[in-house]
Structure 1
Amino acid sequence: MNAPTNTPVTPIPFNAEGPQPLLREIPKGEPYPVEALGPLREAVEAVADITQAPVGLAAQSALSVASLAVQGLADVETLGGDAPCSLFCLTIAESGERKSTCDRLLMKGVRDFEAEQETEYREEYEAFEVAHKIWTEKRKRLISEAAGAKREKATAAEADLRAMGPEPRPPLFPKLTAMDPTFEGLMKLYGIGRPALGLFSDEAGGFIGGHAMNSDNRLKTMAGLSNLWNGEPIDRTRAGDGAKTYRGRRLAAHLMVQPIAAAPLLSDPEARGQGFLARFLMTEPPSAIGTRLRRDHAPHSRSKVEAFRNCALDILAMDLPTDAHPQELTPKRLTLSPAARELLFRFHDAVEASQGRGGEFETVRAYASKSVEQAARIAGVFALWADPLADLITPENMAHGISLSQFYLGEAKRLSDAGAITADTAKAEELRLWLVEKWTHSEIMPREIVQFGPNPLRESKAARAALAVLEKHGWLTRLPEGVEVRGATRKEAYQIVRPQHVL
């Protein structure tokens, strides 16, 4: 055994690593599979051409409008039973991405239909008021006669009462969409209007941050909207209104929201745990801002958008399938062709395997478990948009539905992973970006954050919590008490660490 040597050990110099990232980098999303949009592709490409917006924005609007138009006509067969052809879409995009312009172009058929129906509604309502007044007065007279007359006349009055028939019903309120209602407001619209409606908003931050989704109402709203997505009856019991059951209702949805407003929803454990978010086809398309330098668009693009508008009008004008009650849908059944069913089974098996331990979608099982049904729903929308009288899902419909469902599942994983952060970390990241991008000084004091900083940090407690996170991760260094900053001694101040390569 050799004796130990006394060779000195050369110390390894310490090199500071610099600030550490608060969030892991969000991977870039896959390109939108526009080739899988089937009968919607031409309209989507035309709107993207006209607006120079990301194609994903136009695709979300087209899908949701098509779903709104066809959802009342049929339910689609899935591997787990029949499901509505209703789609919920969530689009995340910054202000200036032209999401409102895309939506306005593709919603034109819906808005024109509402305007036409409103004119008819006013005329029909005037006739209803006259008929209802006559019916009411006649009923009062017959009740009075039946109550005060002798038996023979009373019996005749009772017979006339029975022969009057049911009370005249008002025409259905023509509004197809609601922007930011409470769930009770949506139910009231179902009570007076059409059985197939849409929840559409190009500024859905008001809905997400409003009364319907506050701490008192969030669970109720999410549960109610989830039941509508499922196509289940909705029971409502309220003082003054009594108990009501809304059967045969359908709801499509498209919520367009800025990232800062979407973050609380994506990180909400109740929204994730309840499976509410998993019902949405969500995407955050890559920004096109700074690249929109072309001055014109293809000559045929306007005609493609007009064709989409005309198709929406034609489908919306069709009679909805109802039985005795005009507000309770009895949709027909879209069945899967054998080849379409085989494609869906293969997709099911692949998604099921990916949810296992270590699988690609282990962390987003709620989304993955619904992706097979989402594929069937999308296929149903395509089939009915191309032919409202269709009763069969073709292999082409299903292949397109599967391709889109795969894309949205990938987006759900990407955005869900990014959303799985605490509120404190999100605020700290917002402060970090503000400090390195907008604050021009080398030092910062808590009161300056409260006075000038991002809105969520305009109170001392929130500002100090964010400061603590940034100090821990090396983005701030606390200066000694009494240090002079901007001409005065300071009790608490921080040096901002700005690496040459900002993470």
Structure 2
Amino acid sequence: MTAHESNIEAQAVPFVAEGPQPLLREIPPGEVYPVHALGPLQQAVEAVQGMTLAPVAIPAASALAVASLAVQGFVDVETLGGPRPVSLYALTIAKSGERKSSCDAPLMAGLRAFEKEQAKAQRDDMAHWENAYALWKGERDRILAEAKKGKGEKRTAAQADLRALGKEPAAPPSPDRTVTEPTYEGLTRKFAEGMPTLGIFSDEGGQFLGGFAMASENRQKTLAALNDLWQGNPIRRTRQGEGSFTLFGRRLAVHLMVQPGVARAFMADPMAADTGFLPRFLICEPPSTIGTRLQSQVRQDGFALANFSARLREVLDSPLPMDPETRELQPRILPLSRDARMMLSGFSDHVEAAQAPGNEYAHISGYASKAAEQACRIAGVLTAWQDLHASGVTGEAMENAILLAQFYLGEAARLSDAANLSAEIERAEALRVWLLESWAHPEVLPRDVLRLAPIRALREAPAARAALAMLEKHGWLVALEPGTVIRDAARKEAFRIVRPRHEV
């Protein structure tokens, strides 16, 4: 036996004491949610968290989204790039059992009660409209029948009678303020026939992300429509047989609560990222509190929730500033105070510098480039929620909004890193399975992976080395000393494959 062969015998470690460890998708913990920055929403959020003992970020996202839906029809907000809607899109990621629905329900209760009352009132309005329409149609049919009987003067008189009769009575609009999983066509129809301010709200957001609207053949138009609505752009629809129409002055808020698996698949979709859709969301995945939610720690604060519901009802009962015929919203603009603008400019410059190659936000420039605008939107929501008639955004409101925007930007960076790690783990797992099930030798060389790896992504040196390092870290490979003889040659770098006991 040669010295090199003796060396390899000494290093042959087919098993480790505890055995190889599974490859885990470990996501580093995020920052503590800045709940104090919620301003007028803080007490309600803390009340829900005290009742549910869920991560505070979950009711915080619900409160921001509900407040955004309530006030988005009344105000736009000044930004560094001009006026923008205060509409917020939120994506809350939490596994089953984190009490997402329990957090959402108390904050949505006032809205659900309002929708229920409005639906009853609309039924009464529909009965009146049906009578008015029947009378209008009967009179129109009579005028047209008379016109067919004669010529000249009778037809001229009929035209005058039709002008006097006026337009067909408009049906009362649908009072719904929320939808759960609309198609693109259903959403545009809802805006055409109903209220000009809507929300897509679902505590089972996977139904929307995995539904018809997001199917491969519909995804592009759905994402484009939602992007336009976030921007406040008009909705333009052209469809054969239904004619064309353009809807101005519509607003949409979104809050989707999803499980991690659904979120990973959605965030990995290139179309969702490339279209700029994902970066429009305030995304968070708070650390789990499962196992710590002891009944002795539950806190009840019905007063704070009652105040939240009362304020929500007050805003919902306020008449929307809109054209009575087209229902086009005509929101006023909330200007930034001098202090608010100075803070925003400093935040914008900080985030811009952090997007330079190699810096903190270089890999999430889509999110980072919208961070200053997100801060303005959040500031507009907090300001209008507190006072619909506020003269502008104060420095205090902007300071709070920047803290919140910074938190969500940090979450985007953290989850993006996790998504990249997930891809690395998937490559390492593919290599692990191949080595254990298909590779004929007890050792493997990096060049073996580069030449023969089971997936193309591993045939590039950085990816191959990352996968080998990950398998070594988790005990599936043991690095051999340089110069170890493998397959009749001394090797600069090689690894012994570690197989679980049950495979031997």
Q: TM-score range by the shorter chain?
A: 0.7 to 0.9
Count of aligned pairs: 446
2:37 alignment counterpart: 36
Per the alignment, do residues 142 and 386 of structure 1 end up closer, same or farther by CA in structure 2, a change over 3 Å counting?
same
1:292 alignment counterpart: 293
Task: State the distance in 2 between where 1:141 and 1:470 align.
Answer: 85
Matched-pair contact (CA < 8 Å) for 1:471–1:477? no
Matched-pair contact (CA < 8 Å) for 1:44–1:62? yes
Task: State the distance in 1 between where 2:206 and 2:105 align.
Answer: 18
**Matched letter for residue 281 of structure 1:** L
Q: Over residues 305-356 of structure 1, what are the superposed CA-to-partner deviations in whole Å (9 max), with x where a residue is unaligned?
A: 1111111111011111112534211111111111111111111111111111
Q: Does 1:242 align with 2:239?
A: no
2:378 alignment counterpart: 378
Give the secondary-structure state (helix, strand or coil) at the position aligned to 1:141. helix
Give the secondary-structure state (helix, strand or coil) at the position aligned to 1:47. helix
Give the secondary-structure state (helix, strand or coil) at the position aligned to 2:295. coil
Matched-pair contact (CA < 8 Å) for 1:19–1:497? no
**Matched letter for residue 277 of structure 2:** F
| Displacement of 1:471 | 13
> TM-score, normalising length from structure 1?
0.82
1:115 alignment counterpart: 116
Per the alignment, do residues 472 and 427 of structure 1 end up closer, same or farther by CA in structure 2, a change over 3 Å counting?
closer
- Gap runs ≥5 in structure 1: 1-7, 436-442, 446-460, 479-493, 499-503
Per the alignment, do residues 158 and 341 of structure 1 end up closer, same or farther by CA in structure 2, a change over 3 Å counting?
same
Matched-pair contact (CA < 8 Å) for 1:21–1:473? no
1:13-24 correspondence runs (5 A): 14=11
Give the secondary-structure state (helix, strand or coil) at the position aligned to 1:392. coil
Task: State the distance in 1 between where 2:370 and 2:418 align.
Answer: 20
Q: Over residues 128-172 of structure 1, what are the superposed CA-to-partner deviations in whole Å (9 max), with x where a residue is unaligned?
A: 011011111111211222333343333222212111122111111
1:332-351 correspondence runs (5 A): 332-351=332-351
2:54 alignment counterpart: 53
Give the secondary-structure state (helix, strand or coil) at the position aligned to 1:356. coil
Matched-pair contact (CA < 8 Å) for 1:73–1:320? yes
Per the alignment, do residues 25 and 175 of structure 1 end up closer, same or farther by CA in structure 2, a change over 3 Å counting?
same
Task: State the distance in 1 between where 2:191 and 2:295 align.
Answer: 44
1:126 alignment counterpart: 127
Query: Which has the higher relative contact order, 1 or 2, with Cα contacts under 8 A spaced 6 or more apart?
Result: 2
Give the secondary-structure state (helix, strand or coil) at the position aligned to 2:256. strand
> TM-score, normalising length from structure 2?
0.82
> Is 134-143 or 193-202 further displaced after alignment?
134-143
| Displacement of 1:472 | 9.5
**Matched letter for residue 212 of structure 2:** H
Task: State the distance in 2 between where 1:73 and 1:427 align.
Answer: 50
Q: Does 1:185 align with 2:183?
A: no
1:241-260 correspondence runs (5 A): 241-260=242-261
Per the alignment, do residues 364 and 471 of structure 1 end up closer, same or farther by CA in structure 2, a change over 3 Å counting?
closer
Q: Over residues 154-208 of structure 1, what are the superposed CA-to-partner deviations in whole Å (9 max), with x where a residue is unaligned?
A: 3222212111122111111111111112111111211211010000110111111
**Matched letter for residue 130 of structure 1:** N
2:197 alignment counterpart: 196
Task: State the distance in 1 between where 2:297 and 2:372 align.
Answer: 40
Matched-pair contact (CA < 8 Å) for 1:97–1:287? yes
Task: State the distance in 2 between where 1:217 and 1:196 align.
Answer: 23
**Matched letter for residue 386 of structure 2:** A
Q: Over residues 111-135 of structure 1, what are the superposed CA-to-partner deviations in whole Å (9 max), with x where a residue is unaligned?
A: 0110110111000000001101111
Task: State the distance in 2 between where 1:195 and 1:444 align.
Answer: 59
Matched-pair contact (CA < 8 Å) for 1:90–1:254? yes
Q: Over residues 377-400 of structure 1, what are the superposed CA-to-partner deviations in whole Å (9 max), with x where a residue is unaligned?
A: 000000110011223111111111
1:3 alignment counterpart: none
Task: State the distance in 1 between where 2:134 and 2:419 align.
Answer: 57
Matched-pair contact (CA < 8 Å) for 2:428–2:470? no
| Displacement of 1:105 | 0.6
Task: State the distance in 2 between where 1:158 and 1:471 align.
Answer: 84
Q: Does 1:212 align with 2:213?
A: yes
Matched-pair contact (CA < 8 Å) for 1:75–1:85? yes
Give the secondary-structure state (helix, strand or coil) at the position aligned to 2:370. helix
Q: Does 1:140 align with 2:128?
A: no
1:367 alignment counterpart: 367
Q: Over residues 276-321 of structure 1, what are the superposed CA-to-partner deviations in whole Å (9 max), with x where a residue is unaligned?
A: 100000000110100011346445x111111111111110111111
**Matched letter for residue 375 of structure 1:** A
2:492 alignment counterpart: none
1:152 alignment counterpart: 153
Task: State the distance in 2 between where 1:232 and 1:147 align.
Answer: 46
- After superposition, the CA RMSD in angstroms is 3.3
Give the secondary-structure state (helix, strand or coil) at the position aligned to 1:198. strand
1:414 alignment counterpart: 414
**Matched letter for residue 166 of structure 1:** K
| Displacement of 1:229 | 0.6
Task: State the distance in 1 between where 2:427 and 2:248 align.
Answer: 43
Matched-pair contact (CA < 8 Å) for 2:21–2:476? no
Task: State the distance in 1 between where 2:184 and 2:26 align.
Answer: 36
Per the alignment, do residues 217 and 74 of structure 1 end up closer, same or farther by CA in structure 2, a change over 3 Å counting?
same
User: What percentage of aligned pairs have identical amino acids?
Assistant: 50
Give the secondary-structure state (helix, strand or coil) at the position aligned to 1:37. helix
Give the secondary-structure state (helix, strand or coil) at the position aligned to 1:68. helix
Matched-pair contact (CA < 8 Å) for 2:51–2:298? yes
